[in-house]
Amino acid sequence: MRINSVKSLTRAAGRARGERKRLETEVLVCAGTGCLANGSMDVAEAFLGAIRRRKLEARLKLGFKTTGCHGFCEKGPLVIIQPQGIFYKGVKAKDVKEIVDQTLLKGQVIQRLLYRDPNTKQRVEQYAEIPFYSKQHRIALRNIGKIDPKCIDDCLAVGGYTGLAKALTEMKPTEVIDAVTESGLRGRGGGGFPTGRKWKTCREAEDPTKYVLCNADEGDPGAFMDRSICEGDPHAVLEGMVIGAWAVGASKGYIYVREEYPLAVKHLQAAIEQARERGFLGDDILGTGFSYDVQIARGGGAFVCGESSALMKSVAGEVGEPRAKYVHSVIRGLYDKPTVLNNVETWANVPWIITEGAAAFASLGTKKSTGTKTFSLVGKVKNTGLVEVPMGITLREIIYDIGGGIIKNRPFKGVQTGGPSGGCLPEGKLDLPVDFDTLTEAGSMMGSGGMIVMDDRTCMVDVARYFLKFLVDESCGKCVPCREGVHQLHQTVNDICAGNGRPGDLERIEALSDVVVKASLCALGKSAPNPILSTLRYFREEYEAHINDRKCPAGVCRNLFTFRISPEICNGCGLCAKSCPVDCIAGEKKEVHVIDASVCTRCGACRNVCPTDAVEVI
């Protein structure tokens, strides 16, 4: 049913809330990409089957829904039972009967399905008490995991589209822009450009045809918050975009989504259709006369299309090459019209700012980086997943308090932030407050929020090589410094990793990086040397070991080390021999095992499974 006024929105939301209140218990199954991969659809079907067969809906006043990503993907599939807040992880379809019998019918908690704190070894019953969640402050992710993203009523029940109603009926466009400016919101996609200022310039541009776009081309490897928002709360993104369109005076827009995110496309498409049907998109939104509509543009798998001018070319069906930005895209963007482009997380923040007020947002975080930021905390950390925290929190708090520290309590070596344009920070920088400016000063950057934790078994030269390879593949080839310069940097680092490094290589890298930074056309090239410069700055001795001693201390660059099982430590458990894909480990049970180095492929499987850390790098 179409909603034509604020009043009818309030009524619809009230009805949706009433539906929810009627329920005494609610079972939520996470159906984000991570949990789906772990089999959460089977779990959901098992629940639906049990609910139908045993008529639980009527007996228990039970509600059931699949939600977006809870962020704690590693422990999936996740099942949450409300209002008790019981949190079960690693649930399999065969556990469903027990959950119904014990928890739903008898109110008993099943211990073995509870999360166990890896450090205290304590089982934790409540969702909210798990350190991974308790330290978070969720704004952009506010509804994710609570609502069924495919159901617009569920979204209305938690206050969806009230920000839009307020903006359209109580605020002038310029007041919306002022609110966003006062909130201090900066672009969450990497650049950190003040959102309010972007909107203002676009509004003031002369051309009457304007576009408002959403960048969901989350290309930074290791970051998946935008995917999660599009999958888990697509209406928040749409609501933000309509508010933005109202503010700048646009009537058409696109969401540019990565080809690799099929579920995000599906949920966004469904949300767009529902929003049109209800009158939150299309003509005469909420009966105010304002019109704005959105279409999805699917990307073609090119990292450079995350860059604004390349993205706009791609939306227009062209090859996604950036252009020099003497004139910014807020003046001449898509089809040469004034265009506002913000990323998914930025848009998801906008409705909250309008409903809760700019001051509430600005009171969080630091002075120049207000609000919260979502990070994808991944790599060699115990609790991996999505975390949203106030800006200014330290890296240590994120990695140790929320992340629970390094897997197997190995030594921390570095943390990579900002994707291929960012850098690696060492242990000495762990107490740095995380915000746009301090990260940049330290030689890294916020980027879109990837945070990849590395332990002593990560080779920093290899990490630099990895990013350079990525950028060589993804450079569009339009400008020479990026196309040729990054290629040369990659060749040099490749040689170092292969054991062919030469004295003077590091100096050559630094000189060439300087040219690439200064002379490249777009941000991809300008920031391409960051990974190598930051690792050189903080981990130079590792490069020197590769070049001068022909050694890879971390045991990653395969030409530069061999594995050996320490006879003093090996307890003869035999796990290594079992895991070896080339059968090159020999030894009797309870006796010292030996690796045949001539056959060994240095895959590290033995080192990963060894319970006593007997596999050494020499």
Partner 1 sequence: MSETSIDPDRVRSILTRYPQGDGSGLIHALQDIQAEFGYVACEAVARLCEHLNIPLSKAFSVATFYKAFSLEPKGETIIRVCTGTACHIRGSQILADELSSLLDVEPGGTTKDLKFTLETVNCVGACAMAPVVAFNGVYQGNVQPGALTRKIRGGK
Which residues here bind partner 1, judged by CB under 8 A? Answer: 33-34, 36-38, 72-74, 218-224, 227-228, 259-262, 297-303, 314-320, 376, 378-380, 384-385, 416, 419, 450, 452, 454, 458, 463, 466-467, 470, 474, 476, 579-581, 601, 603-605, 608
- Would you state the torsion angle of the CA atoms of residues 202, 203, 207, 208, taken in this order, to the nearest 10 degrees? 140
Q: Work out how close the CB of 177 gets to partner 1 at its nearest, in angstroms, rounded to a whole number.
A: 29
Q: Work out how close the CB of 44 gets to partner 1 at its nearest, in angstroms, rounded to a whole number.
A: 16
Our CB check for partner 1 shows the closer of 36 and 250 to be 36
Pairing of strands 293-298, 252-257: parallel
SS3 for 469-530, per residue?
A: HHHHHHCCCCCHHHHHHHHHHHHHHHHHHHCCCCCCHHHHHHHHHHHHHHHCCCHHHHHCCH
Q: Work out how close the CB of 304 gets to partner 1 at its nearest, in angstroms, rounded to a whole number.
A: 9
Give the DSSP letter of residue 443: T
Position 95: which residue type? D
Q: Work out how close the CB of 541 gets to partner 1 at its nearest, in angstroms, rounded to a whole number.
A: 20
The CA distance from 593 to 151, in Å, is 57
Q: Work out how close the CB of 594 gets to partner 1 at its nearest, in angstroms, rounded to a whole number.
A: 19
Our CB check for partner 1 shows the closer of 63 and 320 to be 320
Q: Work out how close the CB of 74 gets to partner 1 at its nearest, in angstroms, rounded to a whole number.
A: 4
Our CB check for partner 1 shows the closer of 17 and 323 to be 323
Residues in the chain: 618
Q: Work out how close the CB of 107 gets to partner 1 at its nearest, in angstroms, rounded to a whole number.
A: 31
The CA distance from 75 to 383, in Å, is 8
Pairing of strands 594-595, 372-379: unpaired
Pairing of strands 252-257, 211-216: parallel
Sign of the dihedral defined by the CA atoms of residues 89, 95, 98, 104, in that order: positive
Q: Which two tokens stand for residue 115?
A: 């999360």
Alpha-carbon distance values, 403 to 310, 379, 468, 523 (Å): 35, 10, 28, 31
The CA distance from 600 to 585, in Å, is 8
Q: Work out how close the CB of 602 gets to partner 1 at its nearest, in angstroms, rounded to a whole number.
A: 9
The CA distance from 576 to 614, in Å, is 10
In sequence order, which ranges of 249-301 are alpha helices (DSSP H)? 262-278
Q: CB of 377 within 8 A of CB of 454?
A: no
Q: Work out how close the CB of 154 gets to partner 1 at its nearest, in angstroms, rounded to a whole number.
A: 23
Q: Work out how close the CB of 415 gets to partner 1 at its nearest, in angstroms, rounded to a whole number.
A: 11
Q: CB of 256 within 8 A of CB of 214?
A: yes
Our CB check for partner 1 shows the closer of 299 and 501 to be 299
Our CB check for partner 1 shows the closer of 162 and 308 to be 308
Our CB check for partner 1 shows the closer of 218 and 307 to be 218
Our CB check for partner 1 shows the closer of 297 and 614 to be 297
Q: Work out how close the CB of 137 gets to partner 1 at its nearest, in angstroms, rounded to a whole number.
A: 20
Q: Work out how close the CB of 506 gets to partner 1 at its nearest, in angstroms, rounded to a whole number.
A: 22
Our CB check for partner 1 shows the closer of 365 and 450 to be 450
Q: Work out how close the CB of 218 gets to partner 1 at its nearest, in angstroms, rounded to a whole number.
A: 7
Among candidate residues 328, 121, 329, the one with its CA nearest the CA of residue 316: 329
The CA distance from 346 to 239, in Å, is 12
Our CB check for partner 1 shows the closer of 268 and 286 to be 268
The CA distance from 376 to 51, in Å, is 35
Our CB check for partner 1 shows the closer of 156 and 381 to be 381
The CA distance from 243 to 292, in Å, is 10
Burial of 23 (0-12, 13-18, 19+ CB in 10 A): middle
Our CB check for partner 1 shows the closer of 34 and 244 to be 34
Q: Work out how close the CB of 471 gets to partner 1 at its nearest, in angstroms, rounded to a whole number.
A: 11
Give the DSSP letter of residue 394: B
109, HSE (Cβ side, Cα atoms, 13 Å): 19
Print burial letters for 557-572: b (CB count within 10 Å at least 16), e (below 16): bbebbebebeeeebeb
| Phi, psi dihedral angles at 155 (to 5 degrees) | -70, -40
Our CB check for partner 1 shows the closer of 41 and 362 to be 41
